[in-house]
Amino acid sequence: MILVTGGLGFIGSHTVVSLQEKGHEVLIVDDLSNATIEVLDGIEAASGTRPKLEVLNLQDSVGVAEIFQAYNITGIIHFAAAKAVGESVQKPIAYYQNNLGSLLNLLAEIEKSHKPIPFIFSSSCTVYGEAETLPITERAPIQPAMSPYGNTKQVGEEILADTVNALEGFRVISLRYFNPIGAHASNAIGELPLGKPQNLVPFITQTAAGLYPKLTVFGNDYPTADGTNVRDYIHVVDLAEAHVVALERITSNETSEAYEVFNLGTGKGSSVLEVIQSFERVSGLKLTYEIGDRRAGDVVAAYADTKKANEVLGWKTQRSLDEAIASAWAWEKKVRGL
Ligand code: UD1
């Protein structure tokens, strides 16, 4: 049984579908803090299988121990975490407690079980900050985190790297995501941000759906081709598939080191204006937007060097930016009844 924490969330739910399509049995643990129970129906519709669900916040160490007693857990993919950058600046204690407390409770149970349960960690390209060299390889230096959220990812990776040294046979892969977007082809699951979206693509689709009058592009005076920030937008289904490949890599003893890191991106940078153009192309709509001030904390450009993921992990993206944006728009229309 594969434990997927945060399995009702955006990336988690798509990963559960990919796991089930490959025949893995899945147990989701989710506290419903940023997801709804209906996502379970969506996962079932997308994959044909309803995963098991335990509603629990992983900070509850007794609850976590009970899960490990009740189920034969043979792999863990750990998504459960709070992820709002701005909120983490306001609530650092809550962020460290939740994101690191959850991780520590899982690791304590793995230690107690005396079984080296394969572990996949949800990390972020945010650990590279403003990288000096593009595209970004896994060897790029880690920069001081710009937010408590980002720091929980850095410290989480350090905790895992220390733990593999201490627990015999324990193997971990940290996956550093670039910008996940899009929705499953079945249109049964997708991104469901609570409140006003902070991320670009849900803000675009919600604006087009009429929830907001216009999108503000955060700055067009950056040193990039068109002056707007460049990011590596990766289809969430491609990203989900990488988790299955990473898990199977540990399970089949293919890892070369006990702690491995992979960047997950397409390798292609797209500017904010290019994303808007893609949306207009696939939707046939005109998006209302204005150029505004820069957003504090944004890096100029970030996109992945995909060589290690391609050659060592044996995974690469299959889906284009237009496909990802089209799927995000199809999902938004469904959610809004359009
Ligand atoms: C953000 C986080 C990152 C986190 C990731 C998780 C920051 C600084 N970074 O990445 O740490 O791992 O989300 O989802 O918050 N944009 C606009 N207008 C908008 C929204 C966004 O122009 O209304 C631009 C941003 O300036 C940026 C790009 O779109 O250039 C992508 O923004 P976003 O989707 O928030 O992702 P990141 O900032 O790359």
C-alpha 249 – ligand 1 centre gap (Å): 31
- Is the shortest distance between the CB of 203 and ligand 1 below 6 Å? yes
- Is the shortest distance between the CB of 29 and ligand 1 below 6 Å? no
C-alpha 298 – ligand 1 centre gap (Å): 7
Do the Cβ atoms of 57 and 31 come closer than 8 Å? yes
- Is the shortest distance between the CB of 176 and ligand 1 below 6 Å? no
Secondary structure element (H or E) that encloses residue 95, with its range: helix 92-113
| Residue 333, Cβ density class (10 Å: 0-12 exposed, 13-18 middle, ≥19 buried) | middle
pLDDT in tens, 9-48: 999 999 999 999 999 999 999 999 999 999 999 999 999 9
> What is the DSSP code (8-state) at residue 128?
G
Question: Which residues participate in catalysis according to the annotation?
Answer: 149
The hierarchical CATH code for the domain 2-181+234-264 is 3.40.50.720
Question: For the chain, which ranges sit under pLDDT 70?
Answer: none
CATH superfamily of 200-231+267-336: UDP-galactose 4-epimerase, domain 1 (3.90.25.10)
Do the Cβ atoms of 299 and 178 come closer than 8 Å? no
pLDDT in tens, 127-166: 999 999 999 999 999 999 999 999 999 999 999 999 999 9
Distance CA 253, CA 187 (A): 35
Secondary structure element (H or E) that encloses residue 290, with its range: strand 289-292
Q: Where in the chain is the domain with CATH 3.90.25.10?
A: 200-231+267-336
The size of the chain, in residues, is: 338
Query: Which residue type is seen at 206?
Result: Q
CA-nearest residue, atom 1 of ligand 1: 199
Do the Cβ atoms of 68 and 109 come closer than 8 Å? yes
| SS3 state of residue 178 | coil
C-alpha 314 – ligand 1 centre gap (Å): 28
Determine the pLDDT at residue 194: 86
Do the Cβ atoms of 174 and 259 come closer than 8 Å? yes
- Is the shortest distance between the CB of 310 and ligand 1 below 6 Å? no
Q: Where in the chain is the domain with CATH 3.40.50.720?
A: 2-181+234-264
Give the residue, out of 229, 290, 294, 300, with the most ligand 1 atoms within 8 A of its beta carbon, to mutate for a pocket test. 229
C-alpha 324 – ligand 1 centre gap (Å): 17
> Which residues lie below 8 Å from residue 252, measured CB to CB, with a gap of 6+?
none
- pTM higher than 0.85 for the full model? yes
What is the β-pairing status of strands 179-181 and 75-78?
unpaired
Give the residue, out of 88, 95, 198, with the most ligand 1 atoms within 8 A of its beta carbon, to mutate for a pocket test. 198
- Is the shortest distance between the CB of 123 and ligand 1 below 6 Å? no
C-alpha 97 – ligand 1 centre gap (Å): 24
Unique residue bearing structure tokens 């491609």: 238
